[in-house]
Structure 1
Amino acid sequence: MTEPLISKKELLDLTGISYGQLYRWKRKNLIPEEWFIRKSSFTGQETFFPKASILSRIDKILNMKDELSLDALADVFSPQLTEISLSAGAIIERNIVASSTLELYLTIVSHEGNFPFDQMLRIFILHKLLHSGMISLQEGTMIIETLESHFFTCSEGKYELVLTRKMGVSMCLLVPQNQEIYFDNLIKEVVRIPFAEATEELKLLLNEGGREE
C-alpha cells in the first residue's frame, strides 16, 4: 500500500521547522534521499514526502537532538548494522531484552561469547513479539529459525518479518518492506515488523542504556 504524501510547504508549516533545518538533516543522512519525491504540480515541480514516515522521523529528531549529536542520530536512523557486541550478562543488565527471551533463544541457537549487533537484533525482535502477547513460544521458535537461516540475505535490503496464521497453523515470511501481500480469506496477518524499525529501536536502547521496565 502506497503511503500518502505531504508537500514540503505543508510539512514545514505543520512541524515548524525551517527549510534550512530540513536540508541540513538531509545532508547529515537523518532523512533519506528517497523520501524527497519530486512531482509535477500546477506551480511546476514540487517536493513531497511519505507523510507518516517523515512526520515520525522529524518528531524523533526534535525530541532527541538535545541528547544525541546529529552524527549519532544519523547512525541510529541508518539501517546499517553496528560493530557493538555485548555479553549475555550485559544484555540483561542493560534491559535490552528479558532474561526469559535470551534463555529461549539459547535453547534454539547454540552460542558462546559476546553477541554481535545482528544477533542482538534477532533476539530483540523475538523479545518484542513475545512480550506483545501476539505470538506463542512455538511461533517464537519458528521466527528465530527463519531469521537465523535468512537474516543476512535480507538484512542489507528493506525487509519485514511477517507472521501469518491459517486455521491455527502459523507461517513466517521475510518480505520486501511495504510490499502488499495478498492472502486467501482464511489467512490472517498477525504481526509485521520492519527490520529497519527494529534496528532503530535497538540502537536507541543501546544509546540510552536499555529499555524501561
Structure 2
Amino acid sequence: MEGFISKKDLLEKTGISYGQLYRWKRKNLIPEAWFTRKTTYTGQETYFPEEKIIERIEKIKRLKDDLSLDDLARFFSPSLDERKFSKAFIIEYNIVSKETIDQYMNDEEITNDSIDQMLSLYMIEKALQSGEVSKEEAILFFEMIQMHAHQFHQMNCELYLIRKKGVFTCFLVSSDSVLFFDRDTKVLLCLNALKCMEELKVKIHEAEAKS
C-alpha cells in the first residue's frame, strides 16, 4: 500500500516492540484512527500512515525519558491548553522571534500570551521564513488563523497559502481532503495545524528544561 507501512515492517524499522506500540495506543500517544485493518492475501493485516507513525514514534522515543506517558498524551493532544507564557520567555528561548512578535502583536496582547496565540505567531513565522509570503500577505494569514483557531480543537486541519495571477489567499481544510488546482495557481505553503502544535510544544518543553 503506497504511503502506508505494515505493523511488522513498522516494528522492524523503528525498533519498538508489539507491546510498546499497543501500550502507546492505549495511552492515546498514537491515534486509534492510524490503525487501519486491510485484507491481504495472507488475511487481515494492520497498516499505518508511514510518515505520520514513524515521526510520532521517534518523538515518543526522544521524549519518554523526560515525560511520563500521561504527560506525553497531553503533549500530543490536539487540544490547546490555557497555560500562559511571558513575552520574555518566548523571545529568550527563540520560540517565536522578537521581530514576528513586534510585527503582529502589540506588547499588551503578548504579555500574558497563551499557547493558542503562540501557535498563530509560530505559523506566521514559518510562513515568513518560507520566503514565499510577504509581510502584508502574512497579515491576512494571521487574521484567518485567529478567526478559525477554534477549529484546531475539533479537527486535524491544514492551512493552504496560494497565489493566482498575483492575488494571494489562504484557507483551512480538513487534512484528509484532496485538493486540485489549475495551472495558474501556485501553492506557496501548506501547514498542518497539529504538526505545528507538536513542533511548538517541543520547543516549549526544551525551553522549560533550560529555564
TM above 0.5: yes
Kindly report which structure 2 residues correspond to 1:25-40, keeping only aligned pairs within 5 A, or say none.
25-40=24-39
For structure 2, the 5+ residue unaligned runs are none
* C-alpha RMSD of matched pairs (Å): 2.0
Do the aligned partners of 1:37 and 1:47 also contact (CA within 8 Å) in 2? yes
Tell me, in whole angstroms, the C-alpha distance in 2 between the residues paired with 1:74 and 1:22: 14
Do the aligned partners of 2:152 and 2:194 also contact (CA within 8 Å) in 1? no
Do the aligned partners of 2:87 and 2:110 also contact (CA within 8 Å) in 1? no
Do the aligned partners of 1:83 and 1:117 also contact (CA within 8 Å) in 2? yes
Moved more, 129-138 or 46-55: 129-138
Q: How many residues align?
A: 208
Partner residue of 1:63? 62
Tell me, in whole angstroms, the C-alpha distance in 1 between the residues paired with 2:74 and 2:67: 10
Q: Which has the higher contact order (CA 8 A, sep 6+)?
A: 1
Tell me, in whole angstroms, the C-alpha distance in 1 between the residues paired with 2:150 and 2:59: 28
Q: Secondary structure at the match of 2:180?
A: coil
Partner residue of 1:97? 96
Partner residue of 2:43? 44
Cα-to-partner distance string for 1:168-190 (whole Å, 9 max, x where unaligned): 21111111113221122100111
For structure 1, the 5+ residue unaligned runs are none
Partner residue of 1:182? 180
The alignment's TM-score, normalised by the length of structure 1, stands at: 0.90
Kindly report which structure 2 residues correspond to 1:1-213, keeping only aligned pairs within 5 A, or say none.
4-106=3-105, 111=109, 113-209=111-207
Moved more, 162-171 or 39-48: 39-48
Cα-to-partner distance string for 1:85-134 (whole Å, 9 max, x where unaligned): 11222221232111110011126x97264111111110111112212323
Do the aligned partners of 2:60 and 2:72 also contact (CA within 8 Å) in 1? yes
